[in-house]
A and B are shown apart, each in its own frame.
Chain A
Amino acid sequence: MCLGIPGEIVALVPDRADLAMVEIAGVRRAVNIGLLGGPAGGVGVGDWVLVHVGFAMSKIDEAEAAATLALLRGLGEAYTDELNALAGSDIT
């Protein structure tokens, strides 16, 4: 829950300015981008964001995303639990 998981934006959602499709560890899910600044959250396809419980909380660069993912993988069960929860999530 406290874990921010990095994800890559793979598509914006037409008609829903507050949502983007984000790929997180192979799972593609809608994420709310309403907390990022600017139009369409100031983000576009190919950008990396740190996702907390369904909300992109900050934009990060690819190096940070890779490092954070490696760290999360090291968590083992806590991380897989979080990914399973994410896989079951549908916030559209």
Chain B
Amino acid sequence: MRFVEEYRDANRARALAEQIAALCEPGRQYKFMEVCGGHTHTIYKHGLLDHLPESVTLVHGPGCPVCVIPMGRVDDAIAIARQPDVIMTSFGDMMRVPGGSGSFLDAKAAGADIRMVYSPLDALKIARQNPDRRVVFMGIGFETTAPSTAMTVLRAAAEGVRNFSVFCNHVTILPAIKAILDSPDLRLDGFLGPGHVSTVIGCRPYGFIARDYHRPVVVSGFEPLDVLQSVHMLLTQLAQGRCEVENQYTRVVPWNGNPRALEAINRTMELRPYFEWRGLGFISHSALRLREEYAAFDAERIFQIPGVRVADPKACQCGEVLKGVLKPWECKVFGTACTPETPIGTCMVSSEGACAAYYNFGRFTRRRTEEVTRA
């Protein structure tokens, strides 16, 4: 592991922390949102909050695709899975996400044929191997996974696989960021842009945040030093009175993203007029569905979908956590009724959810403990 030290060097972290502190205007508070659950994970795992001055707060964003799926969509998927000849396939992350009446795991225990797959291409293979069954893939994720679903649909079409379809729940990150910027609940000073989503969409689409909302954006890597450097870049922009989109993660993210991946999405999918996000409500043009040309692969056109709408459990405050209004530990049921073993809310289910990350890594750091005590 000769390379890793480069991104973890304690001396460099300390030097960066000093520079960050020096950039902060006395008396000014800075609130930056890390959009991606991967960043949330790094921040808690490595105790990065202890390297930042008191005046800099990092707020968790909605960038965990499992966390933002509303309960009703889980119920809809289970309704499809319960049809007699259906094999429902899903990424493992989705299996424990509670719907209004149980999770995929519960439905599987009750007899539904629900299988975990690593890739949508595995689901396509199951369809080929089971020509007398209807195989449905539960498509979830932001622009990181949407191209894979799109490519799988293209392949199914090319091969003429007739018993494969997608229950499309892919969401797009930009409308969610816009909804947060438009929300009166929270005043943010800048964004750490998501790393892996940006490998697909590139950096250009964040331009509206700088141009229309006058907030800086820095697309950030996932190493502890990446996150600190990105905070440094945000503060530098603010100190110089600039609001731009910058790319800290140039070693992975090309400025223009991955044109082939975008092309695959555009060929097979289009924006829905609106989609419900857990905690954020209905957001216009924030999710993808299959285009008419691929109707034969669209589970929503093939099956009767109940279209269930389920209000989140009263005790659960995932919505506030996803919008960054509440910290995980400020939720009423955090760590008591809601734990990774028995999650009530989605933020506790996914390893990238803010609550799970904080539960697993953050709870015992000194400064946080003080805050919990104060709260």
Give me the interface of A with B, judged by CB distance under 8 Å.
Answer: 1-4, 32, 34-37, 50, 52-55, 57-58, 60-64, 66-68, 70-71, 74-78, 81-82, 85-86, 88-91
A58 touches B199 (CB 8 A): yes
By a CB distance below 8 angstroms, the chain A residues around B261 are 35, 57
Known: A2-B37, A54-B118, A85-B116. A60 touches B144 (CB 8 A): no
B4 touches A70 (CB 8 A): yes
What interface size band does chain B fall in? 35 or more
By a CB distance below 8 angstroms, the chain B residues around A34 are 151, 260
**B38 CB–A CB distance under 8 Å:** yes
Q: Within the assembled complex, what's the spacing in Å between the Cα atoms of A89 and B122?
A: 6
Q: Within the assembled complex, what's the spacing in Å between the Cα atoms of A52 and B38?
A: 14
Q: Which of B73-81, B233-241, B251-259, B294-302 contacts A (4 or more CB under 8 A)?
A: B251-259
List 5 extra interface pairs beyond A1-B66, A68-B222, CB under 8 A. A1-B140, A1-B145, A53-B118, A78-B352, A82-B118
| Top 4 A-B residue pairs of the complex, sorted by shortest distance between their CB atoms | A54-B119, A78-B351, A91-B121, A89-B118
A66 touches B260 (CB 8 A): no
Q: Within the assembled complex, what's the spacing in Å between the Cα atoms of A63 and B92?
A: 29
A66 touches B4 (CB 8 A): yes
B117 touches A85 (CB 8 A): yes
Can you list 28 contacts pairing A with B, beta carbon distance less than 8 Å? A1-B65, A1-B145, A2-B93, A32-B151, A50-B252, A52-B144, A52-B145, A53-B91, A53-B119, A54-B118, A54-B121, A55-B119, A55-B151, A57-B196, A57-B258, A60-B251, A63-B251, A64-B252, A67-B7, A70-B8, A75-B41, A77-B351, A78-B351, A81-B92, A85-B92, A85-B118, A86-B118, A89-B117
By a CB distance below 8 angstroms, the chain A residues around B291 are none
> 1/0 per position for B76-103, CB-CB distance to A under 8 A?
0000000000000001111000000000
B42 CB contact (under 8 Å) in A4, A52, A71, A86: A71
Q: What is the CB-to-nearest-CB distance from B166 to chain A, in angstroms, rounded to a whole number?
A: 13
Q: Of all chain B residues, which has the CB nearest A3?
A: B38
Q: What is the CB-to-nearest-CB distance from B90 to chain A, in angstroms, rounded to a whole number?
A: 9
Q: Within the assembled complex, what's the spacing in Å between the Cα atoms of A91 and B199?
A: 23
**B218 CB–A CB distance under 8 Å:** no
Q: Within the assembled complex, what's the spacing in Å between the Cα atoms of A41 and B355?
A: 38
Known: A68-B222, A88-B118. A53 touches B258 (CB 8 A): no
Q: Within the assembled complex, what's the spacing in Å between the Cα atoms of A1 and B63?
A: 13
By a CB distance below 8 angstroms, the chain B residues around A89 are 117-119, 121-122
**B190 CB–A CB distance under 8 Å:** no
A74 touches B45 (CB 8 A): yes
B residues 111-149 in Cβ contact with A at 8 Å: 116-122, 125, 140-142, 144-145, 147-148
A63 CB contact (under 8 Å) in B6, B45, B147, B222: B6
Q: Of all chain A residues, which has the CB nearest B46?
A: A74
**B200 CB–A CB distance under 8 Å:** yes
Q: Within the assembled complex, what's the spacing in Å between the Cα atoms of A78 and B360?
A: 12
By a CB distance below 8 angstroms, the chain A residues around B118 are 53-54, 82, 85-86, 88-89
Q: What is the CB-to-nearest-CB distance from B341 to chain A, in angstroms, rounded to a whole number?
A: 12
**B375 CB–A CB distance under 8 Å:** no
Q: Within the assembled complex, what's the spacing in Å between the Cα atoms of A78 and B38?
A: 12
By a CB distance below 8 angstroms, the chain B residues around A50 are 196, 199, 252
Q: Within the assembled complex, what's the spacing in Å between the Cα atoms of A85 and B125?
A: 15
Q: Within the assembled complex, what's the spacing in Å between the Cα atoms of A64 and B199?
A: 14
